[in-house]
């Protein structure tokens, strides 16, 4: 039986208004609405629940159950949405370099999407956590491109591309990739590593993010931060489990799963050392 995503349900989930057409304006608008409504989150790996990349299962999680997910889950669902609207979409895979040296060799552990619109190639990525792209980029190098937050640009050398964002006046690389289209099995392998490998950071602490108009919100462990566009970052340490659960629901719009050991896992997260400020 062939799979087709419930497009009206998804559009309601992200609060998209208007006609969804396979053009550049709609692509940008969908990406902006998606990252504002569906949070990046790693609750399943954090709780010891492996992530399964089965399309209907992912749709139910992100659309019906009010959850979020990380890059493979987010971009799997977004890919199916775009195809249902009529876009030609291929998946790519990247090596994450955010807050690392540009020449580091990291695993291919991040998914992004290439979209063809009227003979022109675009990139979209609704699954990069606190620095997610709110919008879409034309696949052209050395051109500063606007998003609803920081400007982005792409660099290319010898067929290898880098995605960069202008953060506090400095161009910083998010990840490195090539343009070879990937099959789902490639993501299954990478996802298995990301969601089950004992050294994967997704297994050891909360990692939640949401990007809305003018604000990026992140929760890493007990550190809750609100990054205001053009303004200061406000941080606070959440020491109480009830407060963390409230922030997940109120600030990240996350329907917290009713899993018996969730409170125990949050309780076990390390508290900041005395005298150390977040």
Rounded-to-integer distance, Cα 106 and Cα 116, Å: 28
Choice among 71, 242, 261, 267 that is catalytic: 71
Percentage of residues in the chain with pLDDT exceeding 90? 87
How do residues 192-220 score in pLDDT, each as one tens digit? 999 999 888 899 999 999 999 999 999 99
| pLDDT for 277 beyond 60 | no
Choice among 34, 44, 102, 125 that is catalytic: 125
Q: Is 125 a catalytic residue?
A: yes
pLDDT band at 102 (very low <50, low <70, confident <90, very high): confident
**Cβ(185)–Cβ(41) below 8 Å:** no
- Of 43-57, 93-107, 113-127, 142-156, which gets the smallest average pLDDT? 93-107
Choice among 110, 178, 242, 261 that is catalytic: 110
pLDDT band at 92 (very low <50, low <70, confident <90, very high): very high
Predicted local confidence at residue 199, as pLDDT: 87
Rounded-to-integer distance, Cα 178 and Cα 35, Å: 24
Residues near 250 by beta carbon (within 8 Å), at least 6 away in sequence: none
**Residue (of 181, 161, 157) closest to 173 by Cα position:** 161
Q: What is the mean pLDDT of residues 115-140?
A: 98
Residues near 232 by beta carbon (within 8 Å), at least 6 away in sequence: none
Q: Is 227 a catalytic residue?
A: no
Model confidence pTM above 0.85: yes
Q: Which domains does the chain have, with CATH numbers?
A: 192-267 (3.30.2140.10)
Per DSSP, the three-state class of 190 is helix
Give the tokens for residue 159.
Answer: 């067929």
Residue 108 pairs with which residues in a beta bridge? 95
How do residues 14-27 score in pLDDT, each as one tens digit? 999 999 999 999 99
Q: Is 149 a catalytic residue?
A: no
What does DSSP assign to residue 76? H
Where do runs of H (alpha helix) occur along 110-160? Answer: none
**Cβ(173)–Cβ(184) below 8 Å:** no
């Amino acid at each position: 039986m062939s799979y087709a995503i419930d497009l009206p349900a998804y559009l309601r989930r992200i609060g998209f208004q208007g006609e969804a057409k396979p053009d550049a304006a709609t692509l940008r608008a969908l990406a902006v609405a998606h990252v504002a409504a569906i949070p990046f989150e790693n609750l399943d790996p954090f709780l010891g629940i492996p992530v399964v990349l089965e399309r209907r299962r992912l749709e139910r999680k992100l659309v019906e159950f009010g959850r979020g997910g990380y890059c493979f889950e987010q971009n799997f669902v977004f890919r199916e949405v775009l195809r249902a609207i009529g876009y030609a979409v291929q998946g790519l895979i990247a090596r994450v370099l955010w807050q690392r040296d540009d020449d580091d060799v990291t695993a291919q552990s991040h998914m992004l999407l290439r979209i063809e619109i009227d003979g022109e190639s675009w990139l979209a990525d609704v699954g990069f956590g606190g620095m997610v792209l709110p919008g879409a980029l034309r696949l052209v190098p050395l051109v500063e491109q606007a998003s609803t937050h920081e400007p982005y640009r792409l660099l290319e050398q010898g067929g290898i591309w880098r995605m960069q964002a202008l953060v506090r006046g400095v161009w910083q690389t998010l990840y490195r990739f090539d343009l070879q289209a990937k099959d789902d099995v490639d993501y299954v392998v990478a996802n298995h590593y990301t969601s089950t490998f004992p050294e994967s950071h997704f297994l050891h602490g909360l990692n939640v993010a949401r990007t809305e108009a003018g604000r990026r919100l992140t929760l890493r462990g007990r550190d809750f931060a609100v990054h205001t566009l053009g303004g200061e970052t406000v941080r606070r340490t959440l020491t109480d489990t009830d407060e963390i659960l409230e922030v997940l629901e109120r600030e990240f719009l996350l329907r917290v799963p009713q899993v018996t050991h969730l409170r125990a896992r949050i309780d076990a997260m390390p508290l900041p050392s005395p005298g150390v400020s977040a």
